[in-house]
Chains A and B, each alone.
Chain A
Amino acid sequence: MSGAGGLAWRALHALLRALLCLQRALLACLRGRAAAGPRAWLWRRAASAAASCALLAPAAGAFAFRKAGAARRRPGGAAQRRQRWRSDGRALQKLPVHMGLVVTEEEPSYADMASLVVWCMAVGISYVSVYDHNGIFKRNNSRLMDEILKQQQELLGLDCSKYTVEFVNQDKADQVLNCQSTLKVLSPEDGKADIVKAAQNFCQLVAQQQRTYTDLDVNVLDNLLSSTNGFPDPDLVLKFGPVDSTLGFLPWHIRLTEIISLPSHLNISYEDFFSALHHYAACEQRWGK
C-alpha cells in the first residue's frame, strides 16, 4: 500500500483503534459501576460477550475490579477471618494445590502480593508461587517475606516466622490451617534458563560418556529441572495486568494450567481473589480427553 491510498487505510486503522480504546474505557467504567450490583456475574458475562465481539480480548473475561475503597480486611477478628476463609476454601468444588501469582505490571506492590499469598494460605492452598518478569520480587525476597509475615499476623493472627522463609515439607494429610503452606518466589531464570541449564548439565554428562542421548525423554528432563523442586505443576495461575502473556513463567510446568486474567493486583480485594477461585472450581478440565 503506498501513496494516498496507503494513507487513507492508515487513517482508517487509526480511527478503528481509537474506537476500540473508547469502547474499552467505557466498558471498564460501566463494569466498575455494576460490579457491586446484585447481578454482577450477569454483567460480567454480558461484558465478556460484548467485548469478545469487539475483539477486546484482554478485557473479556476480566473480573469486576474494585479500585481504592475495596476493603482488604473484612469486619471481625483474626480468628473469625481465619475460620471464614478456611470454610470458603472448603466450600469450593476444587481448590488448586499449587497457585501461581503472576504480575505483568511494571510496578509490583509488596503489600497487595502479601495479601494474595496470605489469602491463598488461608483458604487452604498448599503451594504458592509468586512471579514477575523483572525478577523484582525475587531480588527483594526478604521485603516480600516481611510483608507476608506482617499480614499473616494482622489478618490471621498467626506467627509463622519459623516457617514461611524456609522450604518445608508439606504434609498433605494435614489440612488444618497453620503455617504449612509453602511459598516460592520465582523469576524468568526459573523458566527458560532452568531448561537451558538442565540441557547443559545433561550434555556435559554425555560429553563425559556418563549418559547417552537416548537416555533423555520427557520424564528425565522433568527430573533435571530444579526451579520447582518439591512443587507440583501449577493448577491455576492468576495473571495480573494488561499483558496477554505469562511472560516466561515456568513454561515447562504450565502445560495443563488454568490461567485466569485479572486487570491488576493493585488494591485487589479478597472478593476478587475468591471470585477467581470460584471460576476455577467451576471450570471443566478434560486434560485432552
Chain B
Amino acid sequence: MSWIREGELTIIERFCANIIKAGPMPKHVAFIMDGNRRYAQKCHVERQQGHSQGFDKLAQTLRWCLNLGIREVTVYAFSIENFKRSKEEVDGLMDLARQKFSRLLEEQESLKKHGVCIRVLGDLPLLPLDIQELIAQAVLATRNYNKCFLNVCFAYTSRHEISNAVREMAWGVEQGLLEPSYHGDRYTSKTEEKLVMCLNRCLISVCTPTTPPIQTF
C-alpha cells in the first residue's frame, strides 16, 4: 500500500522491535512532518522533492508503527498557517495530496487487509473541491475498519479544532440534544467534569470507538 510501505522488517529491525515491544509502548503516536524543505536544501533538490520524500519516509514510519503494534497514528501534514507559503509551494503540496489520496482510493483491498481507518481532520472547506471529494471518499470507504487508525491533519490548527468542538456542543444545545445546567453563577465540578467529557467527545481527534457516549452536562 502506498501509504504504508510494504515489506517486513530486516532481522536487525525485528531484533530491535522485539526489545522495544518488551517494555511499555504508546498506543497513539503523532508525527509532525517538519523539515522537508531543510532536507531538500541539504540534498540540493527542489522543495517539492523534499515534500515527496517526506511522504515516503512517512510511509516507512507507518510500517514501523504497524510492526510495533501502535494502533493509532496522527500525522500533522498541513497547517492552516501553511497557506501563507508561496502559491507555487501550496499548489505543489495540494498536487501531492491529490496524488496520494487518489492512489489511496485505488488500494481499497490493501486498506481492508490492514484494517486502516482513515480520518482527515482540519478545516476542509479551505481545500480545493476535488481534494475534499477525494478525502471524503477515503474517509467513507474506511469508516468501518478498526484494526488501526490513521488521522491526517490537513488544513488543521488546534485552535480550529477546539473552537469547532465548542461550536458542535452549541449546536447540540440549539437542537435540544444537550442541556447546560448550572447552579446560580457557579458550575459544579460534576457538571464541569461532564462538560470536559462532552467536549472531548466533540474533538474530532478523539473519536475512537472506545470514547464514552455524549452525556448531558
Chain A positions within 8 Å of B, measured between CB atoms, are: 1, 6, 9-10, 12-13, 16-17, 192-193, 195-200, 202-204, 206-207, 211-214, 216-218, 220-222, 251-252, 255, 287-289
Contact B199 A199 (CB under 8 A): yes
In Å, the complex CA distance between A12 and B192 comes to 45
Which residues from chain B contact A251 at a C-beta distance below 8 Å?
A: 158
Q: How far, in angstroms, from A198 to B192 measured CA to CA in the complex?
A: 11
Assuming the A-B contacts A288-B84, A289-B85, are A9 and B174 also in contact, with contact meaning beta carbons closer than 8 angstroms in the complex?
no
4 extra interface residue pairs, beta carbon distance < 8 Å, beyond A9-B21, A221-B159, A288-B79:
A10-B22, A200-B187, A255-B157, A289-B84
Q: Known contacts A13-B22, A16-B19; is A213 also within 8 Å of B158 by CB?
A: no
Which residue of B is nearest A214, CB measured? B167
B180–A13 touching, CB < 8 Å: no
Asked whether any CB of chain A lies closer than 8 Å to the CB of B58, the reply is no
For B53, the chain A residues whose CB sits under 8 A away are none
User: How far, in whole Å, are A197 and B199 apart by their CA atoms in the complex?
Assistant: 11
B160 CB within 8 Å of chain A? yes
Q: Does B23 contact A (CB under 8 A)?
A: yes
- Rounded to whole angstroms, the CA-CA distance of A216 and B160 in the bound complex is 11
What separation, in Å, do the CA atoms of A39 and B14 have in the docked complex?
41
A223 to B85, CA, bound (A): 27
Which chain A residues lie closer than 8 Å to B196 at the CB level? 192, 196
- Using known A-B contacts A199-B195, A287-B81, determine if residue A213 contacts B18 with beta carbons closer than 8 Å: no
**Does B215 interact with chain A (Cβ within 8 Å)?**
no
A13 to B160, CA, bound (A): 41
Residues of A within 8 A of B21 (CB): 1, 9
Q: Within 8 Å CB of A214, what residues of B?
A: 167
In the bound complex, do residue A199 and residue B166 qualify as a contact, i.e. CB atoms below 8 Å apart?
Answer: yes
Known contacts A196-B199, A289-B84, A289-B85; A203 and B180 CB within 8 A of each other: yes
Please name the residue on chain A nearest to B189 by beta carbon.
A193
Of listed B20, B79, B167, B178, residue having the most chain A CB within 10 A:
B167
